[in-house]
Amino acid sequence: MAVNTSALLFLVLIYLVCIFYLARLGYKKSSQTEGYMLAGRKAHPAIMALSYGAAFISTSAIIGFGGVAASLGMGLLWLVFLNIFIGIFIAFVFFGPKTRRMGLNLGAVTFPEFLGRRFESRFIQSFSGLLIGIFMPLYASSVLIGAARFLETILGINYNLALLIFTLIIASYVIKGGLLSVMYVDAFQGSLMFLGMAFLLSFTYIKLGGIVGAHQALTDMAPLVPQALSDLGHQGWTSMPVFGSQLWWTMVSTLFLGVGIGVLAQPQLAVRFMTVKDDRSLKQAVLVGGPFILMMAGVAYVVGALSNVYFFRTTGMTALEVVGGNTDLIIPEYLNQAMPELFVLFFMLSLLSAAMSTAGAQFHSMGTALGHDFYQEGLKKGKAGGSTIHATRFGIGFTILISVGLAYILPESIIARATAMFMGLCTSAFLPIYMGALFWKRISRAGALASLVTGTFGSLFWLTFVHAKEAVPLGICKAIFGKATLLSGTWTLVDPILVATPLAFLVAIIVSLKTKAPSKEFLDKCYSLSPAAENSPKPKTLSSMKEKKSGSEL
C-alpha cells in the first residue's frame, strides 16, 4: 500500500513537536540526581502507570509477540493474564509500596543501588549494574528491530536507515532530559498506543465479520496448521499446544513464566515505584495500568492470531507462510494489507510510541547501571570526578551504540525470544534477592550475594549448554563437549528460569540462615514506616555532594 508522504510528514512533525516539548518540561526539573534519575519522587500516579505500562509493552509485545501469536495461537492470552495479575496488581500493591519506602529510607536512586544499599554491598550494586549494562542491550535491540522492521514494511525505506533515525530521536531526549523527560513522553506515547490498539481491534473484527465469526473461522483453520508446527504439538490457533510438547514448553516455561513472572524483577520497571510520592499513588495507578496492559498485550495477541484468517481469505496461505517464516514481519504486513491508509499512518505513530517508550526506559536504565552503579559507585567507590549525571549520560550513549550494533546483526524472528531471554535472566538473578529485601528481614548480605551469583551464572550456564533454543545456535557446547547440548530429551526444552530461579532462592535461604543477619538498627531504618522518613536526610556519596556543588552548571 502506498503511503501518503505529505500526510505522514505532517503527522510525524506534530508528533515530534509534542515529544520534544514534553521532554523539555522534564529536563527543566532534572538538574539534580533525584530529578534526573527518579523524576523527583513526585510523579503523578497516572503518569507513573502509563510510563510503567509503555516501558513494559513495546514492539516486543505488539510486533514480536503479536507475530508469535500468529504462529502459536491464542493460548498466548494466558500471558496477558499474568501481565495484569503479576505485572500490575502484585507489582503495584505488594512490591511497589515497600520498594518506594525502602528506596526513600536508603536514598537509592537506581534499582542496583536499591539492592546494594539494602544489603550494604557495593559489589552487589556494581555487579547488578554490570549485568544490566551487558545484557539489557539484547532486549533493547529487539525493540529497535521491531520499530525498524515496521518502518521498513510500511514506508518501504531501508532497514538500516530506519534503525538509525529512530535511535537518534530517542537518544536526543533520554540523554539530555533524564527519567522525568522519559516518563512525560511515555505518558503521551501510552495514550496514543491505547487509542491505536482500540482502533486496531475494532477494524480487525469489522474486517473479519464480527467477533463470533472471526474466532469461529480461526477455529475452523486448525487442519491448515503447517506440518512442521503440527509435529511440534500445534493443535490449532484457538487451542493450547499438546501438553508436554516442544511448543507447550516454549509457551509455558519461556513465554508465560519468563515474561509473566520476570516483569517483577525488571530494573527499568521496578525503579518507577520510587518515582511517586506515597503508597496511595501506587494503588491508584493499578486502575490505569491494568486496563492499559489489557488493551496493549491482549489486542496484539488476538489480532496476531486472527491475521491468519485474513491472510487465508486473501492469499490462501497462513500468516507465517505469507512472510516466509519471519514472525517479526507478520503484524507489519497485516497492517499494510488490511488496514485503511489513514489508520496505518496513525498506528505507525502508536507503534513508534511503543518502541520509543520502552527503548527510552531501557537506555536510561542501562546508562544509570553502567555510569552510576558500576563505574561511579562500584569501580570508583563513589570517588569519581564529575557528577553522577555526567557519568550516566556517558553510560546511556555507550549502551545505545551497543544496542544499535546488535540490532544490525541479530537474526530474524528474534524479538520475542530476546525479550524472554533478558526477562528470564533478570528473574533468576534479581527476583530472589529483591523479594528477600522486601519481605524477609533475615536475608543476609552473604545470602544475597550468593543468590545473585548463582542465579546469574546458573541461567547463563543453562542457556549456553542445555536449553536448545540458545545452546544449538551458539555452538559453544558443541565446540567444548562435542555435542549440541549436555542433556537430552525434555531437559533441552525447559527454560533456564525453571532451574536457575529456584536454585537462587534456595541458595539465598540456606546461606542467609548460616551467616550473620543484618543488625536490628539497620533493619529498622530499612523498613521504617514513619511519615518522618519522607523528609529525612538521604544518604550521600562523595559523588553526589560534588554534584550538588556543581548543580548550577547543569
Tens-place pLDDT, residues 387-443 = 566 777 788 888 888 888 888 877 665 666 677 788 889 999 999 999 999 999 999
Question: Which of 473, 474, 466 lies closest to 490 in space, CA to CA?
Answer: 466
The upper half-sphere exposure of residue 395, i.e. CA atoms within 13 Å in the direction of its Cβ, equals 29
pLDDT band per the 50, 70, 90 thresholds, residue 340: confident
In the predicted model, what is the mean pLDDT of residues 203-211?
93
For residue 522, the model assigns a pLDDT of 94
Is residue 552 in some structural domain?
no
Residue 373 amino acid letter: D
In the predicted model, what is the mean pLDDT of residues 247-258?
86
pLDDT above 90: residue 109: no
Domain count for the chain: 1
- Mean pLDDT (the chain, rounded): 83
For residue 60, the model assigns a pLDDT of 65
- Coil, helix or strand at residue 110: coil
pLDDT above 90: residue 101: yes
What pTM, to 2 d.p., does this model score?
0.82
Is residue 356 in some structural domain?
yes
For residue 413, the model assigns a pLDDT of 58
The answer to whether 309 and 165 are in contact (CB under 8 A) is no
pLDDT above 50: residue 539: no
Tens-place pLDDT, residues 260-317 = 888 898 888 888 898 888 888 899 999 999 999 999 889 999 999 999 999 999 999 9
For residue 538, the model assigns a pLDDT of 45
pLDDT above 60: residue 11: yes
Is residue 434 in some structural domain?
no
Tens-place pLDDT, residues 483-498 = 999 999 889 989 899 9
* Full domain range(s) for residue 279: 5-208+244-427
For residue 214, the model assigns a pLDDT of 95
- Residue 419 belongs to domain with CATH number: 1.20.1730.10
- Coil, helix or strand at residue 58: coil
Rounded to whole angstroms, how far apart are CA atoms 475 and 472? 5
Q: Is 273 left (phi over 0), alpha (psi -120 to 50) or beta?
A: alpha
For residue 177, the model assigns a pLDDT of 57
% of residues, the chain, pLDDT over 70: 86
The answer to whether 408 and 160 are in contact (CB under 8 A) is yes
pLDDT above 80: residue 352: no
Is residue 551 in some structural domain?
no
Rounded to whole angstroms, how far apart are CA atoms 543 and 224? 63
The answer to whether 390 and 176 are in contact (CB under 8 A) is no
pLDDT above 60: residue 548: no
Rounded to whole angstroms, how far apart are CA atoms 210 and 306? 11
For residue 552, the model assigns a pLDDT of 35
Is residue 391 in some structural domain?
yes
Instruction: Pinpoint the alpha helices (H) of 107-210.
Output: 111-118, 122-155, 159-207
Strand partners, 43: 276
The whole-angstrom distance between residue 136's C-alpha and the CA centroid of its chain comes to: 9
Q: Which of 159-163, 396-400, 507-511, 541-545 is most confident?
A: 507-511
The answer to whether 53 and 190 are in contact (CB under 8 A) is yes
pLDDT band per the 50, 70, 90 thresholds, residue 459: very high
CA dihedral angle for residue 477, residue 479, residue 482, residue 484, rounded to 10 degrees: 40
